[in-house]
Structure 1
Amino acid sequence: EAATGEAEAPAEEEAEEEADAGGGAAAACAPEQLTTTLAVDAATYPAGATPTFTVTLTNSGDSACTVDAGLANQSLVVTSGADRIWSSADCPAEAAGERLLLMAPGAAEAMPVAWPRVRSDEACTAGLPEPRPGTYTAVAVVAGAQSGPVVLELG
């Protein structure tokens, strides 16, 4: 192991974690270094069809960096006007583990997110009314970087 003379224990631990992630030492991505975009697989969904979104995280900075793209560090929120309908962060079915990515400048990571056409809240309340046919807006946030809104229509 080569010594730099400036190594401190936390920096060594971070370097080991980053090496485990498949790359050399890189700083954590700052939110302003990341771009989150959101797309939906259709503009209109007939009754019973499940909207599927693609959340894409891009390193828009000019240096490699690491980012946790795990479920605990991302959310997709669906609204209707001021009414918050659903969030992927509410009561996730999967464990919200860490997913550390080493992202080169310009690198992108796409993550699919399905909205099961239900309402949710942070308290995991059962029996919430189903979303009605109409226009909905979705926004994604990954590692502090927010996407622009995407509009979709439920039939």
Structure 2
Amino acid sequence: MQAVVDAEAYAEGELPQFSVTLKNTSDSPCIIDIGTASQVYTVMSGSDTIWVSTHCQVEPKSQVVELVAGKDVSAPAIEWSRERSNTSTCDDEQRPAAVAGGAYYNLTVKIGGITSDPVYFTLS
């Protein structure tokens, strides 16, 4: 499983697009839910958790797919608003912005108890 960002660096005002790619490395097909109901995207800066996709998630959806042996499947991209999140800020119209100005972040994705390696990006 690989976390995916659509760029290594984002200019002011550009919103990152996150996704995940899974590969079936076995000799047999397998069934897995890759929908938002089973995905957890996490953005961190060092040990600081900046944003988690499930904090304020509305209407999570399942997307059960068959992973053919040796093939990849990618989940549809989701957009990050460049804001911090926690479960107590869901009703706020404006959440605190993530630090920009060249700040480094990493994205991981967890599906079915498996967490991807982090992928790194910067916000200007």
Give the TM-score band, short-chain normalised: 0.7 to 0.9
* Rg larger in structure: 1
Per the alignment, residue 67 of structure 2 pairs with: 103
Number of matched residues?
119
How far 1:51 moved relative to its partner? 0.9
TM norm structure 2: 0.86
Q: Distance in 2 between matches of 1:102 and 1:117?
A: 33
How large is the Cα RMSD of the aligned pairs?
1.6
| Contact 1:77–1:87 under 8 Å retained in 2 | yes
Q: Is 1:45 paired with 2:45? A: no
Please identify runs of 4+ aligned residues in structure 1 that moved more than 4 A.
none
Quote the Cα distance in structure 2 between the aligned partners of 1:68 and 1:39: 18
Q: Are positions 1:61 and 2:26 aligned together?
A: yes
Using the size of structure 1 for normalisation, the TM-score is 0.70
The secondary structure found in structure 2 opposite 1:105 is: coil
**Quick one: distance in 2 between partners of 1:59 and 1:37?**
12
- Aligned-residue identity in percent: 33
Find the residue that maps to 1:85 and give its secondary structure.
Answer: strand
Aligned equivalents of 1:91 and 1:129: distance in 2?
14
Report the counterpart of residue 130 of structure 1 in structure 2: 97
User: Which structure shows the higher helix fraction?
Assistant: 1
Q: Which structure 1 segments of 5+ residues have no match?
A: 1-35
Q: Per chain length, whose mean CA-contact separation is higher, i.e. which structure has more relative contact order (CA < 8 Å, sep 6+)?
A: 2
